[in-house]
Amino acid sequence: MASMAALQLAQFFASLTCAVFTGAALYVSLVEHPARMGCGTLVDATQWAPSYKRATVMQAPLAALSTVFGITAWLASAEKGWLVGALLVGAVIPFTLIAIMPTNKRLLLPGRDLSSAETARLLRRWAKLHAVRSVLSISALVVYLFLLARL
């Protein structure tokens, strides 16, 4: 009985943390960044930096927790779908470190001309890269929700 409860908790928290991550990622991709990009490059870049720093504090733990809970659900149930979902949301972490971090570092360089064409290009690139995070997390959430609906 206790192992069934642990499995259900792992499934619940894998899905919940993934859903919150996905909601935040979609909000940034579909609302916040497009709105920010309409304000002129200087304002765009000035607002992006503190937004990025705050979002990191929220989103990184959510992705990690969803991955851990998804793997836990897979180990407890032997249902491969939980591993698939965990790997999809977990892929956000290395993707961020490998593909997005170089752009982030360039945007955060001290002395960067925040109104330059290069800054505008980097912000557009960041939006495309961030959209990948949104797609990965949506995919993981769909897998998790499908598995929960079958229970």
- The pLDDT tens digits of the residues spanning 27-81 come to 999 999 999 999 999 999 999 999 999 999 999 999 999 999 999 999 998 899 9
| Residue-by-residue DSSP string for 86-115 | HHHHHTHHHHIIIIIHHHHHHHT-TT--TT
* Whole-structure pTM value: 0.93
pLDDT tens string 67-115: 999 999 999 988 999 999 999 999 999 999 999 999 999 999 999 999 9
Nearest to 63 by CA among 23, 83, 91: 91
Domain tally, the chain:
1
Domain that holds residue 70: 2-150
The span from the CA of 115 to the CA of 55, in Å, is 23
Q: Which residues contact 1 (CB under 8 A, 6 or more apart)?
A: none
What are the start-end ranges of the E strands in the chain?
none
